[in-house]
A and B are shown apart, each in its own frame.
Chain A
Amino acid sequence: MSDLSTRERVHPGSAPGEDFHLEIVGDGDFQTADMKLSIGPAHPATHGVFRIVLEMDGERVTGARPVIGYMHRGFEKLAEHRDYRQIKALVNRHDWLSGFSNELGVALAVERMMEMEVPDRAQWIRMLLAEWNRILNHLMFIGSYAIELGAITPMFYAFREREDIQHLLESATGGRLHFTYNQVGGLKIDLPKGFLRQSTELSALIRKRVPDYHDLVLGNDIFQARTVGVGPLPPEVALSLGVTGPTLHATGVPEDSRVTEPYLKYGEIDVDVPVGENGDSFDRFYCLLARISASLDIIDQIHDHLPAGPVNTKLPKMVKAPEGATYLRTENPLGQLGYWLESDGGRTPWRLKMRTPSFSNVQAIPYLLEGVLVPDAIAVLGSVFFVVGDIDR
């Protein structure tokens, strides 16, 4: 045993000082210990500084423990010292792939507390950009998941599409990832001329390109061999762990707050929530891909509905949420994002608690990883869809 621990200490792949129990099996000369494999904090499969300690018997995982917090930036505490305009620039950074949806959540929460009426046009535009943001996010995960399974090409196609969408959003917001386009009571400024035409064209273009992903990834025999039946998540486990978003939809539960608790104008249009059957990695990926088409449908509907009018309301000199608290949830690309905003009537929140989808989704990882092989562990890890900044905040 002492021999083993010395080797553990010098072994770069191992994790010193872990309170992970290594079981010694067999007797006599055949005593072996299960191997402990630390994936991350800097590992190609974790896209970020996420770490997961695997306890392994050969290549089979017998236990997994996610170690989070390497990227903790104290957003909740920082928000307590920022006024509502500054918070918006802060929250679009915890999940850097869904900046617009994040700031939307904060804006909606403050508006609800202030009982503010947001102009219709602003609400429709918010929806439009939120859906584009959703596609932007999903494309990223489609590319990165394929890379995790060894297919390098979808990433490049996905980034080509992302570039087009980012260019479109940049023309309206000025940002490519961190949009800071929302403000309490509406939007910073109206859309520039030609935005809607470009948006319509881009929607048609991406609709034309989506089949490529079906052919290249989803329909590929090797991809199916790697994902079908791998890491199935039963709906009741998913619900009890608080898993949301495409990961939950894959289990067959169509819980989507755009439908069940419509915010903005989602109640006035058709929102299609694609669901899977088995909750395995394949279904999770399928839901992600199908949600792109669903979001494009929503975008087309928004183009038809968009009314004319103002996009912001007159604000007091200092935006102050009245004393009280509210919990607002929105359907972020990765799942439900909730903001618990508690105010003492001042210009900063007294407390801003974030319920981030990635944090809840990674809770399913220990359940999913038990008993799978290392390659499958990667296939499962990638299909849970998380952003490390969103886990650690």
Chain B
Amino acid sequence: MSEVLWNTAASFTAQSTSITTFDSFAVSVVVKIAFALGLFFVVPIVGGYLEHKVMGRMQARRGPVEAGPFGTLQLVADGIKFIQKEDVIPRAADRWVFAAAPGVALVPGMLIFLVLPFGPGVFALDLELGLFYALAISSVSVLGILMGGWASANKFSLIGGLRAGGQLIAYELPLILAAITVAVQAGTLSLVGIVEAQATFMLPGTEINVWYVFPQILGFGIFFLAAMAELSRPPFDMPIADSELVFGYMTEYTGIKFAMFLLTEYGGMILMSALMVVLYLGGWQLLPGVPLPGCEGTGGLFDCGVTGTLLGVGITLGKIMALVFLMVWARVAYPRLREDQLQRFAWLVLVPLALLNLALVGVAKVVF
């Protein structure tokens, strides 16, 4: 029975081997889930620490200093605090929807970690439809937010939820269009495949290896802005807008449920950054055209020893953190847009640009 399942699952996966795959189906499943969950809980905490520190220093403060060495355990301490807090459900709230909303928002983030490649062989699954899967699953989050906004029985929550719905749907489109463009250029939907394609992509007519960010700088910009809007990160944080809507759809949430929403945001930040790294920044490649030490195979990225694997993971995480830094920088420097300005920006600027980008890349693909 399990062998059959495993074979079915394997038939959807691409051919790259993952370090999380074992001979036994049961062990494989457990290891894969543990791998995804571990990443999901650890990397966002590193990202959150980076955000706290960078934001603090940019604002002439120090950020966390007390919890752990240099305040590194601040988010862990926050988590413990959130668990201890009273879990309040408003009397007028729709209890079940209210309670389910944070989970609905959080779980898709976890699921996407299954397909994200963090290094040579360091991924749970290499789905052939990896990109499609990631984008499809990430759209489910908005349901949780809408549920939370509606179920709270609070006008501020409701407005926040509606804003989030509008915003997330509006920015899904440029996000997907930009991602599709990459898929068109790479000729595959597998995330590992896209990394591989970037390692072998040469500028037309030359022997210079470049990442997709160079031919698709426009697409990268669109994806970055759309990702920030998807995550409701400032300057696109109208659904939360603490000075207007108190805390938007999160207003009535306390304790662990609130923490789940927060984790969704931090996890989303890592997720989107990781997607950008894979789609545009060459995955675990150090520099375009430079093979990792100890690696052979296509573009010097696969069949690595221990050093190469660790180095690859380090490079991926470094790139992710660099992108997180950019997001934090934008948060520190800018006020937020108005909801209608945001929508106008999405439909009148980003969507046409994304379509243009798709057309250009399609034409270029055919010509070269």
Check A-B contact in the complex, CB < 8 A: yes
Residues of A within 8 A of B (CB): 10-14, 35, 37, 43-45, 59, 146-153, 156-157, 160, 216-217, 220, 222-223, 225-226, 373-378, 382
Which residue on chain B has the smallest CB distance to residue A38? B155
- Knowing A11-B92, A156-B61 touch, does A373 contact B153 (C-beta < 8 A)? no
- List the A side residues contacting B58 at CB < 8 Å: 153
Give Cα distance in the complex from A146 to B91, angstroms. 35
Give Cα distance in the complex from A64 to B169, angstroms. 31
Give Cα distance in the complex from A382 to B243, angstroms. 10
Q: Is B308 an interface residue (CB 8 A)?
A: no
Interface string of B236-252 (1 = CB under 8 A from A): 01100111111000001
Q: Is B18 an interface residue (CB 8 A)?
A: no
Extra 12 A-B pairs, beta carbons < 8 Å, given A149-B336, A156-B60, A373-B338: A10-B92, A12-B252, A150-B243, A150-B334, A153-B58, A153-B332, A216-B333, A222-B335, A225-B341, A226-B341, A375-B338, A378-B244
A13 touches B241 (CB 8 A): no
Q: Is B340 an interface residue (CB 8 A)?
A: yes
How many pairs of residues, A versus B, come closer than 8 Å at their CB atoms?
Answer: 94
- List the A side residues contacting B335 at CB < 8 Å: 146, 149-151, 217, 220, 222-223, 226
Interface string of B146-171 (1 = CB under 8 A from A): 00000001111001000000000000
- List the B side residues contacting A11 at CB < 8 Å: 92, 153-155
- Secondary structure call for the A interface: helix
- List the A side residues contacting B338 at CB < 8 Å: 225-226, 373, 375-376
Give Cα distance in the complex from A217 to B332, angstroms. 12
Contact residue among B59, B153, B156, B334 (Cβ-Cβ distance under 8 Å from A220): B334
Q: Is B339 an interface residue (CB 8 A)?
A: yes
A153 touches B59 (CB 8 A): yes
Which residue on chain B has the smallest CB distance to residue A147? B243
Q: Is B234 an interface residue (CB 8 A)?
A: yes
Q: In which size bucket is the chain B interface? A: 20 to 34
Which residue on chain B has the smallest CB distance to residue A227? B335
Q: List 13 A-B contacts (CB under 8 A).
A: A11-B155, A37-B156, A149-B243, A149-B335, A150-B335, A151-B334, A151-B336, A152-B59, A152-B234, A153-B332, A222-B334, A225-B341, A375-B241
B60 touches A378 (CB 8 A): no
- List the A side residues contacting B341 at CB < 8 Å: 225-226
Q: Is B235 an interface residue (CB 8 A)?
A: yes
A374 touches B244 (CB 8 A): yes
Contact residue among B156, B336, B340 (Cβ-Cβ distance under 8 Å from A150): B336
Q: Which of A14, A153, A225, A376 counts the most chain B CB atoms within 10 A?
A: A153
B336 to A: closest C-beta gap in Å:
3
- List the B side residues contacting A373 at CB < 8 Å: 338-340
- Knowing A11-B92, A13-B155, A156-B60 touch, does A378 contact B243 (C-beta < 8 A)? yes
**In the complex, the 6 A-B pairs of residues with the closest C-beta atoms, listed nearest first:** A150-B336, A13-B155, A151-B335, A156-B59, A149-B335, A10-B92
Which residue on chain A has the smallest CB distance to residue B152? A12
Give Cα distance in the complex from A160 to B61, angstroms. 10
Which residue on chain A has the smallest CB distance to residue B334? A222
- Knowing A150-B237, A375-B241 touch, does A35 contact B155 (C-beta < 8 A)? yes
Give Cα distance in the complex from A222 to B225, angstroms. 14
Give Cα distance in the complex from A373 to B335, angstroms. 17
- List the A side residues contacting B92 at CB < 8 Å: 10-12
Q: Which of A10, A146, A152, A225 counts the most chain B CB atoms within 10 A?
A: A152
Q: Is B221 an interface residue (CB 8 A)?
A: no
- List the B side residues contacting A59 at CB < 8 Å: 159, 339
B221 to A: closest C-beta gap in Å:
16
